[in-house]
Structures are given as structure tokens and as C-alpha cells.
Structure 1
């Protein structure tokens, strides 16, 4: 393999040098590494409050990602008049409602207030909360589910037919897509504000990484690189 090929393989990678190996590096390298590490430690100490806020916010980003996934699954749902299709729709609706409410009630600054939503979407928010409380989370009456048990009498023998009627949004409510988009914007803006506070507090440039993490590599004993774990 040529040096050019090796360089191409290293695109997007970073290297991990064990601390115990630093002592074998040239003195000026050691001094530069330790000075940079100390500088980084001071920056992180100064940014501790904002970094904790970002850490809590990361859970909100996860829930928004889940909501997007469920929304996309609902969008491609096609109505079929059979129980398997109804149960699949119920499963997706349950997952959407539960994830939405979990995001709404997230503690320690990771949730959101009803008033943060556009006013036109607040009734859709209320509907989801009501569905969660009365249909999915607790045993209570909700207008989308009704018992329709029937009893038949056949020559003195009584037969009970258990039945129910339930309602769904086929593909999810149109407002749910708007809600997810609004939440995506709310939490993206919240993250950006924290980044701005980090920059103001530390005087350094900060950003939230997009996409997959770079490949970690560790130098082997021959000085070439191998993929790390």
C-alpha cells in the first residue's frame, strides 16, 4: 500500500495515544501535549454548567428522532380491513403518543411547555395528552374506544360476543407532522443557545457535531495505525 493510499484511509479518523506512551515522545511533544490537556481541562471546567445542560438535552434530541421515525412509518401506512393492520396502526399510535408525552414531561430542562408550541398546534397537543391519559396510560374512558359487547340467546343458551369499536387517524393526524417539525425547531434552537453561551463563557468556538463519529485508531508497535474499539 502506498503512502497516498494510507493517507486516504485515514480520512475522518483520529488517533488515540495511551497516556503511558507519552513519556517516550520527544520532550517538546510531551510539553505541548500536557499544555494542551491542561488548557482543555480549564475550558471544560468553565463550561461545566452548559455541558450538563447539553447532556440533558441530548435525550430530548433522541425522543424527537424517535417521533420522526414513527411519523414516517405512519405516513406510509395503508389502510387494510383486517385485524393485523389495525393492531399495527394501534402499535404505531401508542408509540407516538407515549414518546410525545415522555418528551413533553422530560425533567431537568429536557422537556417543553405547551406554550412553547405555535398556538395553532396547542389543541393537537392537548388531544395527545388526553389520549395518553385516558386511552393508553390508564384505564379510563376515551371517546376513541368503546365496548360493544353483544349477548345472543339461542334456545335458552346465552352466547356473549365480545366486541369493541376504536378510532384511529389513518397515517396519523396531519397536525402530528406539524408538531414534530415544531419540536425539532424548538430543541435545535435550545441547543444553539447553549452553544452560544459556551462560546461566550469560554471564548472558544463550539459546535454540535452532525453525522457519525470519526473512526478511532490506535498506533501499533510499528508506528502504523489500526482500528480501535
Structure 2
């Protein structure tokens, strides 16, 4: 067996974790205790199998939520300069923000978020992000925020073709996007605690989820880099 596939031991502040593959090497008295604990745990899990599946589906959304928070932070705090690089930086961050937002909302494996669960004043931003993702970033089907064309000049000896395009974007992201991300983050944690409380009610055992200090970027409030209005630029 390749060494990178071998089960490993690990520990935290409370426990040492031993892969089941190593149970056979435990002393008999320890093996008996570990096996009994395993059977007890499995018997409880069988009762709440549906709830565990719901917890897994919810867990699938958390990496996307973390990514969305960081992208929004970068978008809101990236210094904008009126250069080709500055505009492309905004385009890059906005595109990945819209695509990640759509992935979180649409979910997959039952982990999505419905439009009706959002506050009414944030639904316009929700609609915009899904539309711009579908028509501009994921597919090139003519979103109103971007347009292109060609100009053809003839000087009697040759034809000169020039590409013109207009690209609109919210510098630093729209003002509502920060609130939208904060709401979704809170909603995800609320769903998690509801699920853990339901598991406790059904099993009689406490169900915990690891927590730790937020990274420095998550503690900083988004800085407003601009008035948030959409502007068009030509190249």
C-alpha cells in the first residue's frame, strides 16, 4: 500500500484518534472497550441517519461560503486604479464572486439557498448576481453590462479593423454585496445549530462543532472603495 494512503493517528486537546484498521493491534482489554463504544455510537447514528445526511449536505456548502466571504473581502478592499490592469482586476474578482455566489445559492446535493429566505431588500442583488453570472461570466449571451463591436475603416489601400467594447462593473462590488454575504454566513451557521439541536433532541447526546478565532480578514469590515455605482469604461 502506498505510504500516502496509510491511515494515520491524530489527536486534539481531548482525544487521540485511532483508525479502525489498527483496532486489531490494540491490547484485548482496550479492544473490548473501543469495540463497545463503536457499537454504541453506530446504534445511535442509525436512528438519526436522515439527520446526518442533512448535516452532510449542509457541510458541503461551508467551503463555498468561506470562499465567497474571502472573495467579497478582496473585492471590497482592492485598491482601484483607472488602468487596464485595474479594470481587469475588478472584472476578475467580480466574475469569481458571481460564480461562487451562484454555486452557493444553487447548492448541489441539496445544500442550496432559496430566494425567499433572503431579506426583501437583498433580492435585487441576488437576481443581479445570478443574471450576470449566467449571461456574462459563465456564458457569453449578451448581458447589458458588457457590449462589443468592430469598426472598419477603409483608406483606399486597406481595411483597418478595430475592436471596441464597453465593460461595466461595480468598483469594489455593489454596496449591498457585503450585507448579502454576511446574511448568508449567518444563515448557514443558524442552519447548522438548528441541525445540531435536532440531533441532541433525538439522541440525548450533545453534538458539537469545532470553532476557533476568525482569520484577520474576516474580522475586518469591508471598506467602501467607491460609491458602488456601476460605471462603463471603454478600451
Q: TM-score range by the shorter chain?
A: 0.7 to 0.9
CA apart distance, 1:15: 2.2
CA apart distance, 1:109: 2.6
- Rounded to whole Å, the distance in 1 between the matches of 2:106 and 2:180 is 15
Q: 2:24 aligns with which of 20, 26, 29?
A: 20
Poorly superposed stretches of 4+, deviation over 6 Å: none
1:147 maps to what in 2? 148
CA apart distance, 1:111: 0.2
- Rounded to whole Å, the distance in 1 between the matches of 2:157 and 2:31 is 95
- Rounded to whole Å, the distance in 2 between the matches of 1:48 and 1:176 is 36
Q: Which has the larger radius of gyration?
A: 1
CA apart distance, 1:63: 1.0
1:6 maps to what in 2? none
- Rounded to whole Å, the distance in 2 between the matches of 1:186 and 1:38 is 34
- Rounded to whole Å, the distance in 2 between the matches of 1:68 and 1:14 is 32
Question: Gaps (5+ residues) in structure 1?
Answer: 1-9, 213-229
2:97 maps to what in 1? 96
- Rounded to whole Å, the distance in 2 between the matches of 1:43 and 1:35 is 13
CA apart distance, 1:197: 1.2
More displaced stretch, 57-66 vs 32-41: 32-41
TM-score (normalizing by structure 1): 0.80
Per the alignment, in what secondary structure is the counterpart of residue 210 of structure 1? coil
Contact 1:76 1:171 in 2 (8 A): yes
Question: Gaps (5+ residues) in structure 2?
Answer: 1-10, 214-235
1:182 to 2:186 alignment: no
1:216 maps to what in 2? none
- Rounded to whole Å, the distance in 1 between the matches of 2:56 and 2:76 is 31
Contact 1:148 1:165 in 2 (8 A): no
Contact 2:24 2:31 in 1 (8 A): no
- Rounded to whole Å, the distance in 1 between the matches of 2:48 and 2:189 is 19
How many residues get paired? 200
1:106-140 CA distance string (max 9 Å, x none): 13430011010000000111111111121112232
- Rounded to whole Å, the distance in 2 between the matches of 1:130 and 1:152 is 35
TM-score (normalizing by structure 2): 0.78
Per the alignment, in what secondary structure is the counterpart of residue 78 of structure 1? coil
- Rounded to whole Å, the distance in 2 between the matches of 1:11 and 1:146 is 55
2:208 maps to what in 1? 207
Per the alignment, in what secondary structure is the counterpart of residue 170 of structure 2? coil
CA apart distance, 1:148: 4.2
Per the alignment, in what secondary structure is the counterpart of residue 167 of structure 1? strand
